Structures are given as structure tokens and as C-alpha cells.
């Protein structure tokens, strides 16, 4: 309860600050939309030269992309920790975080949130509805609940992977350019995994399970029952990854060396 | 009861050394050399409630590392730490509610938002009641005279203004123990005095225990009755400031300004029979003699020097704390034991 | 002096070894995923827009490897230094601030080219069918073109960085720029894949000088006179971009002097 009220305190404060730099906010929203458009353009251009992607149609791929945008938007609103090492470890901001009576990871999440990214939820849902209607999909009573469950699972997987990567900074003094590159890898979960070979499919399913933030859960809504097993695994994977991540984080904090040493 | 109770506290850092040159850097990709550095070496420290303790030492002596272990930021490599009856690192979230921390070089406040908003967030973070906040904070704000700054964003404040706000922020939950890391660094004299006055007052009013590190020895003279001196991770002195002054250097300091340049060896030679230490003074052709002994010895030294060299000026000083500390670092414990 | 900057940055990069190993791995995964994606896109088709599957794979591989060379974060660094007020100090130092930043970028780029791209390319070459040209002249033109692409990309980064002077906060702009470059430079898709009207617009933008031209030269998608005109186009952009940089920089300096940082 306490954490919820703290969250809203920070959120309202965040809005106030954000609205003072309105021009940057506009550019940022614009760049988000641009980013979402780029991937859509990619899909459209590619399908200008082919009709099926190993048995998946253009609308299906677009639908997967639309689904992906939703957990991704939630992730990027709250887990802006790609520059954790630079910002908190090298500059020593972690010292300050650790002198406050709130869990350190939670503090960083609320300090770094970028609520405007939530806009992606709208884009994503809109894209899904567009592609869904093209495909003639219907909405059942349980679909919204499944959707929430799948989205939560996907966002947790994303968060888990990035928290684990951030935790590495506690052990190693190195700067990690891994994070930005990881964003690229996240994109590959948006395509049907059967186009990849065994190794990449395995990686995208079990090691960096980005396929659970795209094709697997979307397959459920597309009625592709050969993937149902993986689709239902999405929330489970989310829980597993976030648990590992929080554990890694807590262990990491014990090894924090402080700045300037 | 001791507010701070520390036994055998130790912190080691592994540091990687890189090999020289391009070839070396390439070899570093495969294997790396590292050395273990002991930043804090088996420290024992007890602080009672209401004490104001200065924790001093040169850069890299281990001050910050100790403070960071006492505040729960760093995990000790070995040793027992009890602060406010808790283990700072293991019970971190409960523990930090009982302390206030100010890092002089790092802001605790939110950069973009008004000071007041920062306070309001902190009030939530520390789960303070409205009554507590209204009565306690009102006083703090008044004494620190930051009322007019409250609606300004932190980035627009001057260093002195910001520092006063930082102090207020650290005291928002009225902690019984306050850690100050270089609280007066870079501040002008007036602000320094204001801050010292304030610290004295909260110490008197709430019996707040204060542990501070500083490079400014006038802070210590103004505030602390106890000094803990750290060197290479070990405590080399723990006691009163006066005792430090009395025991470590008796006697006086004489500053000569000669008419002609004089070599140190010459001066040492002519005063060889007295307990004197020579050091170059800031002035041209100036030399300082630290004389350990009674007034009689001092006057003898003066007459010997003046009979050998013609001088243009001479001054008799009390040895400053700064001088004492410098002496201690240069000579180490063994000489004065 | 500038060479020294370059060397230091080079050594700095080398010091971060976690970064190094993970970097190679992630680049390989990236290229691998794209390889399979393109395989699926080609399906059974022999060639699309005059590029065969093998050429396309080579295109993707070289585009990513070249990116390792020209890519840098100096826009973000400049923005940060401006916000923290460090630029004022840098300005009184006896060197050209922008020149120094460029050198830092070059140091990083050279490092990645030698220690990332070269070994990475070998790995990729072992794993996927990639065709290297046997002609020395192709390699020569490719490297010339690569230097131009570094210059153009760095110039755009400098521009974005300097704009911080006028915007105060510009994370949005930096992000938007990155997205635009990924899409319009030809990193994700060869420019020739786009519909004709889009190609016409892009011809007026500097972005294809960054990735499309060197990659096309390498895959021998450009032949004969096309190579020369492409190189010429890059050179022209290098010169044109100097103008806005100088104007903005001079204006920014003047503002800095007036406001005292």
C-alpha cells in the first residue's frame, strides 16, 4: 500500500516536471510514434516483395507487432534502466538511493519512469484491432483477461532481462553497451520463431525469451493452436524472470562498491 | 548505550590494474591483474548519544568508506557494525529511517523540482505525519532561513542555499543520528557559520548525534569535542581536540623572515641542540620553527637564530590545529606515541 | 594532441572486456536473426530488386559491421556536457571541442572496427553464406566510403548534440534521430526496396550516405559508374553538413559567452 502511494506521489511530481519541458515532451512522443512506425514500415516494405513469411500473412505479422507494442510500452515506461551503470554506479547516485527507506530497485523505477511511453499501449491496441479486423478475428469474453495476463507476462520478461543486465554493473566495473544492443534483440521476438534456426529459436525462447513478448502470446489470439503451449507459458516465464532478476539485484546491492573508488 | 558500536570493521576493494601500452591492453582482455586494497582496516569505534565527532584524515584514508558502511551503503568485508541498534546493511530500509545523511558533493534533492516539492516527496518517503512535518520542519526551515527558497527549483540555487536545503532535507524525519560528509565544502564563511550554529542547536535541542568528515579544521574547532583521526584505513587518534593540541605539540611556532636567503641545513645546524622542526613559510625567505618546549627554550632558539642571521621580521604563533594534523601525517604516531 | 585523444579512447574501450565479448556475441546474434528473417522473406525467390539472397545476407552483415565503426554516442555526450555546464570549461581549453569529440568517436570506431567487426565478420562468415569480393578495388572503394559514412554520421551527431544549447532537454530529439538513421540510412532495408516515391524523397537526405552506400559497394550492388557517383554524393554531403554545424556552433558560443554558461 505504501509503495502504491509513493508511486502516485512520484508520478504526479513527474507529470509536473515533464510539463515544464513541453517541447521536449512533444518531440519525445513524436519520436516514439516514429519508432513504432519504422517497424511497421519495415513490415510493409518487406511484404511488398513477398506474400507469406513461412506461412504467416502480412496481417498476422502486423498483429504480432501490435501486441508486442503493449508490453513493450509498459516496460519502457517503468524500466528505463539502460543507463543504470553510468547514471547510478559511475556517478554515485546509488549512494543516495541506498540512504532512503524504500527498496532500491523500486526507487530507481519510480525515479526513472517515463510515463509518456504508455502511449505505445494505444498504438499497439489500435494496430491489433486493425489487423484483427482484417483477419476477421472475434473477441471472446475471456480475451481481455488473457490479454492482461499475457501483457503482464511479457512486460515482466522484458523487465527481468534488463534488471539482470543492470545488476551486472554491481559485479563488473565495465561500462555496458550491451543494453542498447539488447533492444535490437528484443525485436526478433516479433517474428514467427519458426523462421529461425534451432539455436536462435532456443535463445529467444529460454535464454533471452523475447519470443514470449511477441509471437507466442500473439499466437493465442490469432488462434494458432500449435503454439498454445508456449502462449500459456508467457505469464510463468514472466514470474520466473522477474524473480531471478530481483534476486540478482539484491545480491548485487551487497556488492556495491560505491562511487569514486 | 552507544549509538555507533563498531568492532574490527574492515573493507577491502579489489582493483584491477591495467598493463601498459596497446599490447598490454590486449592481454588484459584475456587475464587481468588485480590487487586487494584495504580501505578500512580493523576499526573500532564507539560513539555515545549526543556526541559530535569529527572523522578526519587525508584523501583516501578511508573516511568515506567508513561512513558508507555506517550508513548501510556498503557491505563490510569483515567486522561487526551496530548503529542505532541495527545492522545498517542487513536492515537497511528500517535503519535508514533513523539516520540523516548529507553528502556535500552530491545532491539529495530532486534537481528539477522546487525545494518544497522535494520536501513533500521526502515526507512521503519517510512516512511522516502532517503534524510532525508541520511543527518540526517549520522550525528547521526558520532556523536555516530557507523560507524564501522553498518554491525555487534546486538547480537555480547557489551552493550555499542548496547546502542549507540539503541539511533541512536530511533532518526532515528528525533522525537521532546525522552523518555529514564534507558539509561545508566550497561554502563561504557566513554560510559556514550559519550551518555550524544550526548543527549546534539541533544537537542541544534533540541530543542529535553527529558524525562529520571535513577538510576544514575550523569546522572541528567550532563543533566537535571529539576527533577521530584516520590514516591508511586505521584510527591513529581518538580523543578530545584539546588533548590533541596539548599532547601532540607543546610549545610555539616562530616565524622568521630573513633579510638574505638561508638554507634549511644551516638553520638546523645552529639549532641542533633544541627540539626544533623547520619548515619553509609561505613568505619569501621565510622559515617556520616549531619548538617543543617551554617559553624559555623558545626564547633561546630565537636568540640563537637572530645572532647568526639578520632578520626583517619575526612572529610568535600558537600552533594551529591544521599544523598539528599536518605534523601527525608527516611524522606518524611513533614519534609522539 | 588529437592523436593522443584517439589513443586514450582506444585504450579505454579495450579496458572493458565484458563489453567486448558480449558485444561480439550480440552482433553475431543480430546478424544471424536478420539472416533468417531475410531467408524467410525471400522464400523461394531468386532475387529481389536485383539482390540475391547471398548478396542480401552480405548486405545485412556488412551494414551491421560498418555500423560498429561509424556509430557513436557523442550526441548524447555533448548534450550531457552542455546540461552539466562542462562545455564552458572545454571551450577555454586549447583545442577545438568539436574536433576533440570527433576524435573520440573515431577512436571508439577504430577500436570496434578492428576488434569487433573484423573478428565478428569471421564468425559470421563461418556461420552464414556470405560473399566477399575478390577485387581489391571494391575493398578500396568500400573503405573510402566507410570513412565518408563516419564523417556524415558524426556530423549529424554533432548537430544533434549542439542543438541541446537551444533546447535544454533533447533526449527526444536524440532518440528520434537514431530511429530516422536506422530507417533511412539503409541499415534495416536497402533503399532500393522502398517504393519509388520514398526513394525519391530519400535521395534528398544525407542518411543513405551513412549505411546504404558503403554496404551496396561492398556487396557489389553498385558497379562501375554508380560507385563513383555514390562516393561523390557522400563527399558532397560531408561538405554541405559543415555549414549548419558551423553556424550553430558559432551561435551557441556567442550565447554561452553572453549568458556566462
pLDDT digits (tens, 9 = 90+) for C148-185: 999 999 999 999 988 888 876 777 788 888 888 888 89
Can you read off the three cell numbers belonging to residue A54? 513461412
Say whether both B11 and B143 belong to one domain: yes
Say whether both B176 and B295 belong to one domain: no
pLDDT over 90 at B215, yes or no? no
* Residue B54 lies inside a defined structural domain of this protein: yes
The two beta strands, B286-291 and B276-280, are antiparallel
Q: Tell me which residue range forms the domain holding C10.
A: 2-259
What values do phi and psi take at A238, rounded to 5?
A: -60, -50
Q: Do A101 and B126 touch (CB under 8 A)?
A: yes
- B26 and chain C: CB distance < 8 Å anywhere? yes
Cβ-based burial of C100 (10 A; exposed 0-12, middle 13-18, buried ≥19)? middle
Instruction: Tell me the CA distances in angstroms from B204 to B198, B199, B331, C88, one per residue in order.
Output: 10, 9, 37, 45
* Residue B226 lies inside a defined structural domain of this protein: yes
Q: What is the distance between the alpha carbons of residues B10 and B18, in angstroms, rounded to a whole number?
A: 26
How many structural domains is chain C composed of?
A: 1
* Residue B330 lies inside a defined structural domain of this protein: no
Q: Which of C12, C24, C36 to mutate to test the interface with A (most CBs of A within 10 A)?
A: C36
C193 neighbourhood in chain A, CB within 8 Å: 45-46, 48-49
Tell whether ipTM is more than 0.85: no
* Residue B122 lies inside a defined structural domain of this protein: yes
- A102 and chain B: CB distance < 8 Å anywhere? yes
Radius of gyration of chain A (CA): 19
CATH number at residue B257: 3.30.70.1570
Question: Is there a contact between A35 and A117 (Cβ–Cβ < 8 Å)?
Answer: no
State the average pLDDT over residues B57-66. 84
Q: Do C17 and B28 touch (CB under 8 A)?
A: yes
CB-based contacts of C254: which residues, under 8 Å, 6+ apart?
none
Q: Do B65 and A258 touch (CB under 8 A)?
A: yes
Q: What is the distance between the alpha carbons of residues A12 and C127, in angstroms, rounded to a whole number?
A: 51
Q: Do C20 and B29 touch (CB under 8 A)?
A: yes
Closest CA to C148 of C64, C218, C213, C65: C213
* Residue B333 lies inside a defined structural domain of this protein: no
State the average pLDDT over residues A219-227. 92
> Which range is least confidently modeled, A98-112, B25-39, C22-36, C165-179?
B25-39
Domain termination site, one of B202, B217, B245: B245
- pTM to 2 decimals? 0.82
Q: Do B92 and A173 touch (CB under 8 A)?
A: no
Question: Is there a contact between A36 and A120 (Cβ–Cβ < 8 Å)?
Answer: yes
Say whether both B160 and B290 belong to one domain: no
Question: Is there a contact between A186 and A65 (Cβ–Cβ < 8 Å)?
Answer: no
Averaging pLDDT over each range in A64-68, B130-134, B290-294, which range is the top one? Answer: A64-68
Say whether both B144 and B29 belong to one domain: yes
Please report where in the chains the cell 528484443 appears, as a residue: A186
C168 neighbourhood in chain A, CB within 8 Å: 21, 24
pLDDT confidence of C16, banded at 50, 70, 90?
low
Q: Tell me which residue range forms the domain holding B135.
A: 2-245
* Residue B336 lies inside a defined structural domain of this protein: no
pLDDT digits (tens, 9 = 90+) for C132-158: 877 888 999 999 999 999 999 999 999
- A15 and chain C: CB distance < 8 Å anywhere? no
- A261 and chain C: CB distance < 8 Å anywhere? no
State the average pLDDT over residues B178-200. 89
The CA distance from A252 to the nearest CA of chain B, in Å, is 11
Q: Do B103 and A96 touch (CB under 8 A)?
A: yes
Please report where in the chains the cell 526532515 appears, as a residue: B172
pLDDT digits (tens, 9 = 90+) for C112-135: 888 778 887 888 888 777 878 778
Domain termination site, one of B245, B264, B289: B245
Q: Tell me which residue range forms the domain holding A145.
A: 2-254
Q: Do C19 and A175 touch (CB under 8 A)?
A: yes
Cβ-based burial of A259 (10 A; exposed 0-12, middle 13-18, buried ≥19)? middle
Q: Which of B22, B23, B25 to mutate to test the interface with C (most CBs of C within 10 A)?
A: B25
Per DSSP, the three-state class of C237 is: helix
Say whether both B132 and B12 belong to one domain: yes
Instruction: Tell me the CA distances in angstroms from C233 to B48, B86, B323, C217, one per residue in order.
Output: 76, 69, 69, 13
Q: Which of B74, B152, B211 to mutate to test the interface with A (most CBs of A within 10 A)?
A: B74
* Residue B334 lies inside a defined structural domain of this protein: no
How many structural domains is chain A composed of?
A: 1
The CA distance from B196 to the nearest CA of chain A, in Å, is 23
pLDDT digits (tens, 9 = 90+) for A4-63: 999 999 999 888 888 877 777 888 888 888 888 888 988 998 898 888 888 899 999 999
- B25 and chain C: CB distance < 8 Å anywhere? yes
> Which range is least confidently modeled, A91-100, A205-214, B228-237, C3-12?
C3-12
Question: Is there a contact between C116 and C23 (Cβ–Cβ < 8 Å)?
Answer: yes
Chain B residue with the nearest C-alpha to that of C85: B155
Cβ-based burial of B1 (10 A; exposed 0-12, middle 13-18, buried ≥19)? exposed
B110 neighbourhood in chain A, CB within 8 Å: 13
Cβ-based burial of C180 (10 A; exposed 0-12, middle 13-18, buried ≥19)? middle
A101 neighbourhood in chain B, CB within 8 Å: 93-94, 96-97, 125-126
Per DSSP, the three-state class of B151 is: coil
Q: What angle do CA A9, A12, A15 make, to 5 degrees?
A: 150
Question: What percentage of residues in chain A have a pLDDT greater than 70?
Answer: 97
Q: What is the distance between the alpha carbons of residues A204 and A196, in angstroms, rounded to a whole number?
A: 10
Closest CA to C82 of C256, C243, C250, C257: C256
How many structural domains is chain B composed of?
A: 2
Instruction: Tell me the CA distances in angstroms from A97 to A89, B181, C195, one per residue in order.
Output: 11, 16, 51
- Residue A121 has a pLDDT of 96
Cβ-based burial of A36 (10 A; exposed 0-12, middle 13-18, buried ≥19)? buried
Say whether both B178 and B258 belong to one domain: no
Q: What is the DSSP letter of B19?
A: P
Per DSSP, the three-state class of C139 is: helix
pLDDT digits (tens, 9 = 90+) for B151-173: 998 888 888 899 999 999 999 99
Closest CA to B221 of B198, B203, B196: B196
A257: nearest CB among B13, B94, B107: B13
A13: nearest CB among B103, B106, B117: B117
Say whether both B241 and B258 belong to one domain: no
Size of interface A-B (CB pairs under 8 A): 70
Say whether both B61 and B140 belong to one domain: yes
Tell me what the pLDDT averaged over chain B comes to.
85
Q: What is the DSSP letter of B18?
A: P
- Residue B334 has a pLDDT of 46
Tell me what the pLDDT averaged over chain C comes to.
84
pLDDT confidence of A176, banded at 50, 70, 90?
low
* Residue B328 lies inside a defined structural domain of this protein: no
Amino acid at each position: 500500500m505504501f509503495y502504491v502511494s509513493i508511486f502516485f506521489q512520484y508520478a504526479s511530481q513527474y507529470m509536473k516536471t515533464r510539463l515544464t519541458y513541453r517541447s521536449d515532451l512533444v518531440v519525445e512522443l513524436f519520436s516514439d510514434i516514429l519508432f513504432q512506425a519504422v517497424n511497421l514500415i519495415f513490415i510493409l516494405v518487406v511484404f511488398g516483395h513477398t506474400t507469406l513469411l513461412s506461412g504467416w500473412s502480412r496481417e498476422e505479422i502486423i498483429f504480432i507487432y501490435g501486441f508486442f507494442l503493449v508490453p513493450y510500452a509498459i516496460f519502457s515506461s517503468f524500466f528505463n534502466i539502460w543507463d543504470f551503470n553510468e547514471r547510478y554506479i559511475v556517478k554515485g547516485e546509488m549512494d543516495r538511493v541506498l540512504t532512503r527507506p524504500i527498496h532500491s530497485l523500486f526507487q530507481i523505477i519510480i525515479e526513472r519512469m517515463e510515463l509518456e511511453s504508455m502511449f505505445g499501449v494505444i498504438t499497439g491496441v489500435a494496430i491489433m484491432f486493425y489487423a484483427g479486423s482484417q483477419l476477421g478475428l472475434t473477441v471472446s469474453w475471456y480475451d481481455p483477461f488473457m490479454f492482461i495476463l499475457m501483457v503482464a507476462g511479457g512486460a515482466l520478461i522484458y523487465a527481468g532481462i534488463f534488471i539482470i543486465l543492470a545488476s551486472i554493473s554491481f559485479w563488473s566495473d565495465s561500462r555496458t553497451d550491451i543494453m542498447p544492443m539488447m533492444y535490437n534483440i528484443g525485436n526478433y521476438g516479433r517474428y514467427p520463431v519458426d523462421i529461425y534456426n534451432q539455436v536462435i529459436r532456443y535463445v529467444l525462447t529460454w535464454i533471452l525469451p523475447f519470443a514470449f513478448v511477441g509471437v507466442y502470446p500473439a499466437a493465442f489470439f490469432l488462434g494458432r493452436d500449435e503454439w498454445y503451449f508456449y502462449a500459456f507459458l508467457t505469464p510463468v516465464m514472466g514470474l520466473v524472470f522477474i524473480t531471478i532478476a530481483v534476486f540478482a539485484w539484491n545480491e548485487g546491492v551487497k556488492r556495491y562498491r560505491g562511487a569514486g573508488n | 548505550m552507544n549509538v555507533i558500536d563498531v568492532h574490527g570493521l574492515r573493507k577491502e576493494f579489489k582493483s584491477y590494474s591495467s598493463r601498459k601500452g596497446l599490447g598490454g591492453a590486449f592481454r588484459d582482455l584475456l587475464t587481468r591483474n588485480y590487487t586487494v586494497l584495504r580501505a578500512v582496516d580493523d576499526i573500532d569505534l564507539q560513539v555515545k548519544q549526543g556526541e559530535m565527532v569529527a572523522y578526519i584524515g587525508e584523501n583516501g584514508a578511508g573516511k568515506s568508506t567508513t561512513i558508507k558502511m555506517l550508513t548501510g551503503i556498503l557491505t563490510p568485508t569483515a567486522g561487526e557494525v551496530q548503529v542505532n541498534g541495527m545492522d545498517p546493511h542487513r536492515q537497511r530500509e528500517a535503519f535508514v529511517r533513523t539516520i540523516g545523511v548529507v553528502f556535500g558533493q552530491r545532491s539529495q534533492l530532486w534537481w528539477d523540482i522546487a525545494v518544497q516539492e522535494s520536501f513533500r516527496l521526502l515526507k512521503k518517503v519517510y512516512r511522516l505525519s502532517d503534524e510532525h512535518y508541520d511543527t518540526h520542519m517549520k522550525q528547521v526551515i526558520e532556523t536555516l532561513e530557507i523560507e524564501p527558497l522553498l518554491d525555487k527549483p534546486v538547480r537555480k540555487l547557489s551552493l550555499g542555499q542548496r547546502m542549507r536545503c540539503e541539511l533541512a532535507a536530511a533532518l526532515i524525519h528528525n533522525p537521532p543520528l546525522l552523518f555529514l560528509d564534507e558539509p561545508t565544502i566550497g561554502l563561504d564563511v557566513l554560510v559556514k557559520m550559519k550551518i555550524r550554529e544550526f548543527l549546534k542547536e539541533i544537537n542541544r535541542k534533540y541530543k542529535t548525534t553527529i558524525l562529520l568528515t571535513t577538510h576544514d579544521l575550523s569546522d572541528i574547532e567550532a563543533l566537535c569535542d571529539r576527533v577521530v583521526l584516520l590514516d591508511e584505513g586505521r584510527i591513529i587518534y581518538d580523543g578530545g581536540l584539546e588533548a590533541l593540541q596539548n599532547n601532540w605539540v607543546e610549545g610555539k611556532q616562530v616565524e622568521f623572515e630573513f633579510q638574505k636567503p638561508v638554507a634549511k641545513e644551516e638553520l638546523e645546524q645552529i639549532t641542533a641542540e633544541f627540539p626544533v622542526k623547520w619548515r619553509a613559510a609561505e613568505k619569501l625567505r621565510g622559515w617556520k620553527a616549531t619548538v617543543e618546549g617551554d617559553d624559555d627554550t623558545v626564547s633561546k632558539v630565537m636568540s640563537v637564530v637572530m645572532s647568526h642571521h639578520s632578520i626583517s621580521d619575526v612572529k610568535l604563533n600558537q600552533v594551529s590545529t591544521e599544523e598539528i594534523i599536518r605534523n601527525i601525517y608527516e611524522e606518524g604516531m611513533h614519534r609522539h606515541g | 594532441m588529437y592523436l593522443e585523444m584517439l589513443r586514450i579512447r582506444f585504450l579505454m574501450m579495450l579496458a572493458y572486456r565484458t563489453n567486448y565479448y558480449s558485444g561480439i556475441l550480440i552482433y553475431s546474434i543480430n546478424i544471424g536473426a536478420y539472416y533468417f528473417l531475410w531467408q524467410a522473406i525471400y522464400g523461394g525467390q531468386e532475387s529481389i530488386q536485383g539482390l540475391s539472397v547471398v548478396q542480401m545476407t552480405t548486405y545485412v552483415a556488412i551494414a551491421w559491421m560498418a555500423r560498429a565503426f561509424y556509430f557513436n554516442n557523442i550526441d548524447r555526450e555533448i548534450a550531457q556536457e552542455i546540461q552539466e555546464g562542462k562545455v564552458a570549461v572545454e571551450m577555454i581549453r586549447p583545442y577545438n571541442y568539436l574536433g576533440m569529440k570527433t576524435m573520440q568517436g573515431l577512436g571508439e570506431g577504430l577500436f570496434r572496427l578492428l576488434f569487433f567487426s573484423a573478428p565478428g565478420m569471421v564468425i559470421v562468415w563461418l556461420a552464414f553464406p556470405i560473399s566477399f569480393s575478390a577485387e581489391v578495388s571494391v575493398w578500396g572503394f568500400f573503405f573510402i566510403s566507410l570513412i565518408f559514412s563516419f564523417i556524415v554520421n558524426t556530423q549529424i551527431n554533432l548537430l544533434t548534440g549542439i542543438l541541446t544549447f537551444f533546447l535544454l532537454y533533447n533526449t527526444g530529439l536524440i532518440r528520434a534521430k537514431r530511429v530516422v538513421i536506422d530507417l533511412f540510412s539503409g541499415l534495416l532495408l536497402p533503399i532500393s526496396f522502398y517504393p519509388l516515391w520514398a526513394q525519391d524523397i530519400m535521395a534528398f537526405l544525407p542518411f543513405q550516405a551513412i549505411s546504404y552506400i558503403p554496404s551496396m559497394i561492398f556487396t557489389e550492388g553498385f558497379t562501375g559508374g554508380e560507385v563513383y557517383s555514390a562516393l561523390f554524393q557522400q563527399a558532397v554531403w560531408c561538405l554541405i553538413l559543415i555549414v549548419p554545424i558551423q553556424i550553430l556552433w558559432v551561435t551557441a558560443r556567442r550565447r554561452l559567452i553572453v549568458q556566462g554558461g
